[in-house]
Amino acid sequence: MKKGVLLINLGTPKTPTPADVRVYLKKFLSDPRVIDMPAWKWNPILNLAILPHRPEKSAKLYQEIWSEEHGSPLLYYTQQQTKMLQEELPDYVVRYAMSYSEPGIADGLLEMEQNEIDNLTIIPLYPQYSTTTVGSVVDDINRFYIGRVKIPNLKIVTDFCDFAPYIDALADKIRTAIDEFHPDRLLFSYHGIPVSYVEKGDPYARRCKETTRLIMKRLGDVPYTETFQSRFGPDKWLTPATDDTLRAFPKEGIKRVLVVAPSFVSDCLETLHELEIENKEYFMESGGMEFKMVPALNDDFAFTKVLKGLVLNQDTVVVSDSANKREFI
């Protein structure tokens, strides 16, 4: 039986130009899972109010975090995660796909079909389930297989926020940063979603709180706060908001803050710009003294261990680092 793994992330503009950002935003913001509004009501807003202006503004933000060597950070780290997992699973075909950019999910599934994969594990790279992310991925998977002659054995990992290797990887990374930085407060910043989605049954907020609880169980007695970022539009979103919290911290005597974003497994616009540039500025302008970000798991071997464990259904796996002749258990 031929086995495959498909990692799926959100996507990224092809280049940090207004034209390419517009293509990306149009696809992203046209997803009914992302914007829960009737098309007749939303499309005029999208096409007349958002797309004529926002791509130029967003392009400037992307340009600030774009790497001259690697291009899009999210794409680069997703490629690295795929490459590293392939090295650990030589008997599998390991590929990646994007929900709103290339290669698309249908492209990835078609390649698996052409490789005659019989047993396919699909891992959306979102630790905490939400209808806006994992739900959308599952929709795309279902659309692809409608009418297909052969469907492989499918395993879709819809949530891994309580998977021990994931929690351990984040806790270890945070602990190292705490020991080096000695913050007054540890801030967990999760990507937000509208409150209306939670009221309809989306478990995302609950899964974020579970992530924080499990990490803090490993870290012990460390002062912390949990917040949500990336508000969009007029609707009420999950609170407390990251930006408001950071503005208030200095007034509470919190002058050194360490920030971690557990909902992102790859650094991207939301971590490198929204948090590390914009929100850092809010904190410092409000009287903060030092602001430090914990990088996402990115191309850490600890994250390869997480992905390998999810594929093999094992909490403990051996991951080799051939370059440094080490093993992570």
CATH 3.40.50.1400: which residues of the chain?
3-156, 164-293
Give 328's pLDDT tier (boundaries 50, 70, 90): very low
Q: What is the pLDDT of residues 146-175, one digit of tens each?
A: 999 999 999 999 999 999 999 999 999 999
Per-residue pLDDT, 314: 75
CATH of domain 3-156: 3.40.50.1400
CB within 8 Å of 199: residues ≥ 6 apart: none
263 with 299: CB under 8 angstroms? no
Distances (CA, A) of 4 to 91, 107, 110, 153: 8, 14, 12, 10
Q: What is the pLDDT of residues 172-200, one digit of tens each?
A: 999 999 999 999 999 999 999 999 999 99
The domain 164-293 having CATH identifier 3.40.50.1400: the answer here is yes
pTM: 0.94
| Separation CA 322–CA 87 (nearest Å) | 10
| Separation CA 195–CA 136 (nearest Å) | 18
Taking only Cα atoms into account, the Rg of the chain, rounded to an integer number of angstroms, comes to 20
pLDDT at 275 over 80: yes
122 with 307: CB under 8 angstroms? no
Using omega within 30 degrees of 0 as the cis cutoff, is the peptide bond preceding 44 cis?
no
Q: What is the pLDDT of residues 49-74, one digit of tens each?
A: 999 999 999 999 999 999 999 999 99
Distances (CA, A) of 110 to 2, 105, 116, 196, 223: 15, 9, 10, 35, 48
SS3 310: helix
Instruction: Determine whether 199 is exposed, middle or buried from the number of CB atoms within 10 Å of its CB (0-12, 13-18, 19+).
Output: exposed
| Separation CA 83–CA 301 (nearest Å) | 11
Give 233's pLDDT tier (boundaries 50, 70, 90): confident
Q: What is the pLDDT of residues 86-123, one digit of tens each?
A: 999 999 999 999 999 999 999 999 999 999 999 999 99
Pairing relation of β-strands 326-328 and 319-321? Answer: antiparallel
What's the residue count for the chain? 329
Token code pair at residue 266 = 């790859």
Using omega within 30 degrees of 0 as the cis cutoff, is the peptide bond preceding 55 cis?
no
